[in-house]
Structure 1
Amino acid sequence: MRADRLVAILLLLQQRELVTAAEVARELEVSESTARRDLDALAMAGVPVYSAQGRGGGWRLVGGARTDLTGLTAGEARALFQVAGPASSANPAAKAALRKLVQALPEPFRVLAQAAASSMLVDPHRWGVSRFERTTPPFLDDIQDAVISGVQIRLGYVDGDGSVTERIVHPLGVVAKGPIWYLVTHTDAGRRTFRIDRVSSVEPIDDPVHRPEGFDLAESWREIADEVDRKRTPLEVQAVCTPEGIGKLRMTLGDRLEVGGSTIDGRIEVVIRGYNEYALAGELAGLVEWLEVTGPPGVRDHLTLIGNALIERYGRGSPHGP
């Protein structure tokens, strides 16, 4: 996890007067190019780190080896935790490192740092087949500022039909889902999610955010993504697959595939989601070498029709066959 490495680098810089990218790479068991990118990321985020060029050069903390984390400003502490990533989605080692870092901060900065660490989540799986690269929407920084500061915002929003509305929301977190940014909020109507590229205005107001008890951005986003996936792919197909075919299914179906336990004959139970029976049967027809669909009957019927059509078109004796 990158969060683990960035925190480790900062602690390493505290312990030594100067470190080189090669030393960081050796300590963290990464390539030198990765070490340089991480050091650059800390510097670009505003953490007080600088590079000394030439013979005997390397990376230092501003103020020398005696500089400790209590020397960070509020903005620097926030920048570190934003670049380190959300603690809620980090691995146990990264979480432990982030907790130690929080405890080393001056008391006034701790809440701000923790809010920055949990303000954003990255979900690399795309919805659909969009090949667009992720870009930064105009109001992303303003929205994340409100999440970290814990203040409500008056949000201007353009819906899918082009209608412009304005509402007051409690911003809880920002999620990058593939190339698209989303804002997770609490409203009078409950939890709501907004595409940030459709936000037309952001105005912070003085009222504090109401954060539902026990709210966790990663868990909340899993619930939101699962609900969207169910709406996009409402049909579930049950099937069994040979062990050697599971890799093919994962490659073809991605997160629409759920792998279960083994059957008596050594095959593996799977559940596959899709939009409708006909489309899903057409998709699964190319996987019959490894896959046997057990239900629902409608998908099996479509597979039968597809199989008969293939035999008629390409089987022996067909005018189009060999």
Structure 2
Amino acid sequence: MRADRLVATLLLLQARGRVTATEVAAELAVSERTARRDLEALATAGIPVYPQRGRGGGWALVGGARTDPVGLTVGEIRELFLVPGVPGVADVPGVPGVPDEGATPHLRALERAVVDGSQVRLGYERPGGAADERIVHPLGLATKAGVRYLVASTGAAGGPGALRIFRLSRVTSVEPTGDPAVRPEGFDLAVAWRSLASTAEERTRAATVRGRAERGAEAALRALFPGRLRLGRPLAHGWMTFEADGPSPQALAAQLAGLGARIEILAPREARDHLARLAAELAALYGPPAAPRAG
């Protein structure tokens, strides 16, 4: 477990006073990259660990201080299990979000579940769908662009391939089951987050629509498709071409529907047909009432 490694790294620091990533890697039988990431995670957690540069450098406790792992504060223990702040993890591209979404009502309950290693019954609302419940094994929390995600296993044994990420703003309830969570063997939160975030990014780019838009609609298009929009050449009469990526032609058409006549989808056909159906439904619901028949 990663927390075991972090505590072992801290004990090694205390025993030797100063260590290098190479020494930690050899002692704990991990890669040098993993050892360096663990040392950085200790510093991020608020433990007084700092790097020393130059010849004879390495990592040491500030002023030779000692920290009793058993006496770590709740906040320090929590940080050992959380991804935010681990260099390179919070910057995984393609997981868009908005700031200030971290203070969700279920954050503390999920932090406790991660630290305590306990399963929870998670209520979760999918985009455009009703909330459902499932038993999950919380493994850690990650942040991207101010948006928090839970990394969890949904498999009964917590095995590989059952890892999922859940956006905390869509969590509707958290109920501890009293059963221990199972961590996959060799699980590394930072590595798992990168893999899951990459998979999520691929899903958001599964389809592409091509169309034309009025000049001046650039800001609205960029807001709809952050990092997934390509503006093209200008056309006659104040139009321009564009391409946008999304999970499906239908989802892209639904997003673009709000721009009305400022855009026209040119391809694929599925997106045009879906937009036409949406327009017909809206016209039937909000259009003027039919005139009464004469006499």
Q: TM-score band, normalised by the shorter chain? A: 0.3 to 0.5
For normalisation by structure 2, the TM-score amounts to 0.44
For normalisation by structure 1, the TM-score amounts to 0.41
Greater RCO (Cα-Cα under 8 Å, separation 6 or more) = 2
Higher helix share: 1
